[in-house]
Amino acid sequence: MIKIEFTKETIEALNYERYHHPRPRVQRKAEALWLKNQGFSHQKVAQLTDISVNTLTNYLQEYADGGIDKLKEDRCYRPKSELVKHTKTIEDYFREHPPASIKEAMSKIEEIVGVKRSETRVCKFLKSIGIKRRKVGMVPGMSKCRGTGSV
């Protein structure tokens, strides 16, 4: 079992972070450590914060290793698309030659950088780099022939 003594400044920081930090996971960590400081057992803290005792032990170990700054670290894995490496190339090409459809964009991306992605992924990627999808259609009333005299 890990025993940690908290300073007054640390307790104040934990109390602040458990309500004001933008990431809920950090709020939960601060809450767990704050409750532990209040004298609750590992089991009770785990029950109140809806975590396991092992997770609480990990939180305490993180705090022991690096203080509150270590608790605030974001270690979540966020995969990046292979297209991100080629953003500048793709963006420059599509600014010069706007695609008429997502399927055309898919084929051009595959041709330019050699990465094949689905329509959904290509659409999301283009949106992320600021290229908006434009839907085209007919203007009502303009489909009839002009110059025949009839409307």
Average pLDDT over residues 24-49: 92
Residue 102, classified by CB atoms within 10 Å of its CB into exposed (0-12), middle (13-18) or buried (19+), is: middle
Can you tell me the distance from the alpha carbon of 130 to that of 62, in angstroms, rounded to the nearest whole number?
39
Q: What is the pLDDT of residue 144?
A: 57
User: Model confidence at 16, in pLDDT bands (50, 70, 90)?
Assistant: very high
Can you tell me the distance from the alpha carbon of 133 to that of 122, in angstroms, rounded to the nearest whole number?
11
Looking at residue 50, what DSSP letter applies? T
Can you tell me the distance from the alpha carbon of 35 to that of 39, in angstroms, rounded to the nearest whole number?
7
At 78-133, the pLDDT tens digits run: 788 888 899 999 999 998 998 888 899 999 999 999 999 999 999 999 998 888 87
Coil, helix or strand for 73?
coil
Dump the DSSP string for 48-86: HHT--HHHHHHHHHHHHHHHHHHHH---------GGGGG
- pTM higher than the cut 0.95: no
Question: Considering only 7-21, 58-72, 74-88, 135-149, which range has the smallest mean pLDDT?
Answer: 135-149
